[in-house]
Homo-oligomer: A and B are copies of this chain.
Amino acid sequence: MRLRKGVVLKRIKIRTQKRSQWLDITRQVETALAEAGVLSGMCLVHVPHTTAGVTVNENADPDVQKDVLKFLDQMIPRDWGFLHVEGNSDAHIKASLMGCSLTLPVEEGRLMLGRWQGIYFCEFDGPREREVWIQT
């Protein structure tokens, strides 16, 4: 059996407030990296849900998030005529479009993001208690 020493999987708890919502989790990912003492390599951000996802997008103007969420809501209507009895198939589709997993570079102890990039937890069927797993 192979053991890659030092691999850490950190679980972060999140509370969402709306049905559709983006939460900036950049700081939490950076904290997890600092606590694990990672100098360089890859950082994996995984969302263990099927009606939520994770993405990277602009961290400056909050209107960007509003625009994305509003557009996705009209592109994938909740009442489209889905079979799934829970009534949240729109959220399952959005989750797969965003993706549940993100791999980001780390260099000299720093999470390497572009100047305007932030990491967003994408809630599509809240409000709920959620988790984000960060592997460093």
Give the interface of A toward B (CB within 8 A).
1-4, 6-7, 9, 36-42, 44, 46-50, 55-58, 61, 63-64, 66-68, 71-72, 75-76, 80, 82-86, 89, 92-93, 95-105, 107, 109, 112-117, 131, 133, 135
- Given A1-B109, A83-B66, A109-B1, the answer on whether A117 and B48 have CB atoms closer than 8 Å is yes
A36 to B89, CA, bound (A): 36
Residue contact B80 to A71, C-beta cutoff 8 Å: yes
Q: How many copies does the complex hold?
A: 3
Chain B, Cβ-Cβ closest to A37 = B1
Residue contact B48 to A115, C-beta cutoff 8 Å: yes
Residue contact A67 to B92, C-beta cutoff 8 Å: yes
A14 to B118, CA, bound (A): 22
Residue contact B103 to A103, C-beta cutoff 8 Å: yes
Shortest distance from the beta carbon of A75 to any chain B beta carbon, whole Å: 7
Shortest distance from the beta carbon of A45 to any chain B beta carbon, whole Å: 10
Residue contact A39 to B105, C-beta cutoff 8 Å: no
Residue contact B57 to A114, C-beta cutoff 8 Å: no
CB-defined A-B contacts under 8 Å, sample of 7: A7-B40, A42-B103, A48-B117, A50-B64, A57-B92, A71-B82, A112-B133
